[in-house]
Structure 1
Amino acid sequence: MESKNFDYQKLKAVLDEQGVTIEQLAKMIKKEKRTVASWLKGTNTPHKSSLDRILKSLHISERRISKDGVVFFDITEENQQRAEELLYNVLLPFFAYYEANQLGHEVIKEQKAFNNSGGYDGKSVQFMKPDFIKPSLINEMTNIIESMER
């Protein structure tokens, strides 16, 4: 964690929440009490190594003591691979499916408008079979949705 992102008020709140005193924190991270007190007053900022020890000692994530709007992600290779699989195997096919169905809907809409305006030489135009059943997102993607829920 970078020192510039440290929020001393959030650290105070975490210490209160966990019932940890300044003295106890100082002992946990091997710093003097006055040094820790200056961090909690906002007059000084802990070094990166001290921040890392605070996170480990209090068993908290960086977000708990970071300024608002600062987002940190420590993504492992395994999690990155899982995210990519989700993107390529679920999300992108879903949007392609949606776009294809949307296009089919637009074609039917244009066909109806064309036929309502008199068609071609007074004859209706039919782009799809009248017994065409539009695929349902629920039916077509049930397996994918169920795997996402697991």
Structure 2
Amino acid sequence: MAADKDSEAGERLASDRVFGVIGGLLLLLGLVYAVRSFLPGGSDTGAGPAAAAVPALAIVSPAAGAEVAQPLVVELDAGTQLVLGPTGWTADGRHLHLFAGGTEVMATATELQPAGGTRYRWTLARLPGDTTTLRLAWSDERHRTIEQGASAPVPVRLR
């Protein structure tokens, strides 16, 4: 009878070890998944701005080297449809910022007008200086610039 109890205890000890190892592996896998989801671009869910492809921005007008009147109208191609949201004109959780030299601006509801397809016209408030370089970039919900998809710089003369 004592041998039967020892055999049962040995079997229980072996199964406890197996289940313990399996439980430890599952905990480790959960930890790896949790850490990856907090890293930039670490989510594989396909949702949100980190996972979606970033559309390329382009300044269609004015052309590089152009002399332009103020208020300046910039025609842009967003590479995607924009919608007006709480953080400005957005696409997949990103919104537009325009850099004009040392000035960074975000389009208000009335400054950006659809021009067909993925093109828009942005009427800017008066910019300082007589020459500047324009560049468009996406920003995240905290207004951090996303370099991927940014437009080429376009130098212009202001009058």
Q: Which bin holds the TM-score, normalised by the shorter protein?
A: under 0.3
TM-score, normalised via structure 2 length: 0.24
TM-score, normalised via structure 1 length: 0.25
